[in-house]
Amino acid sequence: MTVEPLQLSDFSRDDHGSIGLVRESVPRPFKPTVVAEMSRVVSNDAVNAEYYHLVVECGPVAAAAEPGQFFSLLCPKLPGEEPFLRRPMSLYGTNPHQGRIEFLYKVVGSGTRGLATLKRGDLLDIMGPLGRGFALDPGLTDIVAVGRGAGLATLAPLAKAARRNGTRVTAVFSARRPDLMVSVGLFEEQGATVIQVTDQEATSGPANVERILRELITDGRCQAFFTCGSSRLMRVQQRLAEEFSLPGQVAIEQQMACGIGLCFCCVRDFNVGGTIVNRRVCWDGPVFDLLETLP
């Protein structure tokens, strides 16, 4: 394995400003661009048998989060359970005017079980916004969003952002069963077309998804891929992106401890021009170039 050469991007993140060699002679009050603060729960409702939709009131720094960024949540502890670390959750929605952010999460373990107990008015310690989100080129007229499971939550803010740019979105959403499908209404409200595939209906296999995507490409509806939540579907898009020379971005998950680039526990391998490099998902991502990402 060859190892990553020196990169300025290791510590300067121009997109989000703030990091780098800032030299100043006049001290000015420190302004954080990431906060850890107590937010207040506005609502936390089950949307189906597995997912909850959480809305919290937060300060302006948190509410300025962008699509593809995430927060790290200090989950309430249920009796007998001891989640210790924070839990990463993608931004599902934001309303900077109301000072609100939203999450859509699946209950899987001690942390998310604790989250599910939150009631209106409760406090929740949120840390964010974290990471580098989707870069949505305003020049694109047509994009395709492909997601599965909790990945649909991560893709959700794209719908609104794309509409603002006048970009048409076609979403291909995959789930085990139709009743576990999330985010569909949200995409449709923003004018997106949603194609649903499920395991139950035997429509979610890679071959069928590839067929759907090929059609979209032929119809001129796919200038770029945006995806999250399934390695199998990512591989399908990588093949097509290569074949048709299309760009793409993928949001990936990895276990985290700090969420802000300190601990190097969230690394994954990437293929950058034939060289395998190691990147931190929380810091360099969680959104990465589709073709560089390894399954």
Ligand X SMILES: Cc1cc2nc3c(=O)[nH]c(=O)nc-3n(C[C@H](O)[C@H](O)[C@H](O)COP(=O)(O)OP(=O)(O)OC[C@H]3O[C@@H](n4cnc5c(N)ncnc54)[C@H](O)[C@@H]3O)c2cc1C
SS3 203: coil
Q: Rule CB under 8 A: say whether 254 interacts with another protein.
A: yes
In the bound complex, what is the minimum distance in angstroms from residue 142's beta carbon to another protein? Answer: 35
Residue 20 falls in which region: left (phi positive, over 0), alpha (psi -120 to 50) or beta? left
Structure tokens at 201: 């209906």
At 194, the amino acid letter reads: V
153 binds, among ligand X, ligand FES, another protein, none (CB under 5 to 8 A by kind): ligand X
Which position among 46, 108, 123, 263 is part of the footprint of ligand FES (CB under 6 A)?
A: 263
With tokens 């305003």, the residue in question is 138
SS3 216: helix
Structure tokens at 287: 């959104």
CA 173 → CA 23, 46, 181, 239, distances in Å? Answer: 47, 20, 8, 19
Q: Rule CB under 8 A: say whether 210 interacts with another protein.
A: no
Task: Judge whether 112 and 106 are in contact, CB under 8 Å.
Answer: yes
In the bound complex, what is the minimum distance in angstroms from residue 126's beta carbon to ligand FES? Answer: 16
Which position among 19, 64, 140, 272 is part of the footprint of another protein (CB under 8 A)?
A: 19
CA 223 → CA 213, 218, 227, distances in Å? Answer: 11, 11, 13
Among 36, 53, 40, 135, CA closest to 92 = 53
Which position among 47, 140, 212, 257 is part of the footprint of ligand FES (CB under 6 A)?
A: 257
Which position among 265, 272, 289, 292 is part of the footprint of ligand FES (CB under 6 A)?
A: 265
In the bound complex, what is the minimum distance in angstroms from residue 123's beta carbon to another protein? Answer: 14
- CA–CA gap between residue 124 and residue 41 (Å, rounded): 7
23 binds, among another protein, ligand FES, ligand X, none (CB under 5 to 8 A by kind): another protein
Interface region with ligand FES, contact rule CB under 6 A, candidates 19-27, 202-210, 233-241, 254-262? 254-262
Q: Rule CB under 6 A: say whether 264 interacts with ligand FES.
A: yes
In the bound complex, what is the minimum distance in angstroms from residue 260's beta carbon to ligand FES? Answer: 7
Q: Which residues of the shown chain bind ligand FES in the complex (CB under 6 A)?
A: 256-259, 261-266, 280, 282-283
